[in-house]
Amino acid sequence: MFDPITLDQLRAFVTVVEEGSFSAAARKLRRVQSAISTSMANLEAQLGVLLWDRSTKVATLTAQGQAVLASTRRVLAEVDGLRRLTTGMTLGLEASVSLCLDAFFPVKALVSLCANFTQEFPAVDLRIDTQVMSAVSARVLDGTATLGVVTPAGLARGLEVQALSPIRVHPVVSPSHPLAAIKGRIASRHFVDAIQIVLSECENDGVSDQVGLSPRTWRVGDLNTKHEMLRAGLGWGNLPEHLIREDLRKGKLVTLRPAAWGDHENSLNLLVIHRSDAVFGPAHRWLMEQLARLCAKEARLQK
């Protein structure tokens, strides 16, 4: 059945409300006032409800009109979203983007990325997944994610790679831990009885655990758990600077200087990865550029 209600009527209705009167809406829409009045009368007849109280000099919304206004705004927002989506499609814009990030990627940078993405591509859906090590590569290889950010340890063969700025990593421990009392370089013998907490895939077919200084290791599957265990003094381990910057400033964690590691800074390059057969539109290309920019910004904060 043909629906006589038009988008033009709905937009005129909202304009009258926003401008405060039929005459002001007419000026805004560059129409004569009689056309707006007729449009409102037809809309009321088609909906079967009284939208306007015309007993005063300036018509005001009825209670029914207030309810219809809220619904009308939702309808127009959906229509505008549909138009943005289809306009973007004609320009090659993707309908959705999926991104899988290693847990080492800075969370604040991720939030900034998402906020900017919403402003830049309001009609494109964004899916974010966080994994560790080879699980990121696996998501990209099987097509679950179109873009990934992975550490070198988790990089799989057959993927296109773009290096990002390095993320500094520190060996840290709670100030209550025995290792914290040792000043300067710490000889390897002091790590023999200390538990090293390592980020691990905890799967037999995943990336092997990195060899550490301590013979005793506790394996955890996510970075936040490792962070909390280190803060609780349960062991020592490496954490990215962006995650512990406040802890270091407030003295909740302290850095260690293992003699076996020398004086060089411990850092790793995060890598943007994608399949070689991937064809990217504007949203994906923008994401790749922003990932590089945000990691470079984080690197500057580390200096």
CATH number at residue 14: 1.10.10.10
Residue 11 exposure: Cα atoms within 13 Å on the Cβ side: 11
Q: Is residue 233 situated within a structural domain?
A: yes
Same domain for 29 and 47: yes
Count of residues making up the chain = 303
Quick one: 219 and 86 in the same domain?
Answer: no
CA 279, CA 268: separation in Å to the nearest integer?
28
Residue 1 located in a structural domain: no
**Residues 204 and 66 both lie in one domain:** no
151 and 233, same domain (yes or no): yes
Run means of pLDDT, 10 residues per run, the chain, 303 residues: 76 89 87 89 89 84 89 85 61 78 88 90 88 89 91 88 88 95 91 90 55 82 92 94 92 93 78 86 88 81 64
Tokens standing for residue 151: 């550490």
User: Quick check: helix, strand or coil at residue 190?
Assistant: helix
Q: What per-residue confidence (pLDDT) applies to 5?
A: 83
* Statement to judge: residues 80 and 117 lie in one domain: no
Asked if 109 and 295 touch (Cβ cutoff 8 Å), the reply is: yes
Q: How far apart are CA 278 and CA 299, in angstroms?
A: 29
In a domain, 69, yes or no: yes
Is residue 107 included in any domain, yes or no? yes
C-alpha 179/C-alpha 191 separation (Å) is: 8
Instruction: Tell me: do 53 and 201 sit in the same domain.
Output: no
What is the residue range of 142's domain?
96-303
pLDDT of residue 3: 65
Domain boundary residue, one of 90, 112, 127? 90
* Same domain for 228 and 119: yes
What integer pLDDT is reported at residue 92 of this predicted model? Answer: 59
Domain end position, chosen among 90, 111, 136: 90
**Domain's final residue, options 90, 115, 147:** 90
Is residue 168 in some structural domain?
A: yes
- Tell me, yes or no, whether 160 and 293 share the same domain: yes
Q: Are residues 84 and 144 in the same domain?
A: no
Q: Are residues 205 and 86 in the same domain?
A: no
**Same structural domain for residues 193 and 296?**
yes
Classify residue 2: in a domain, yes or no: no
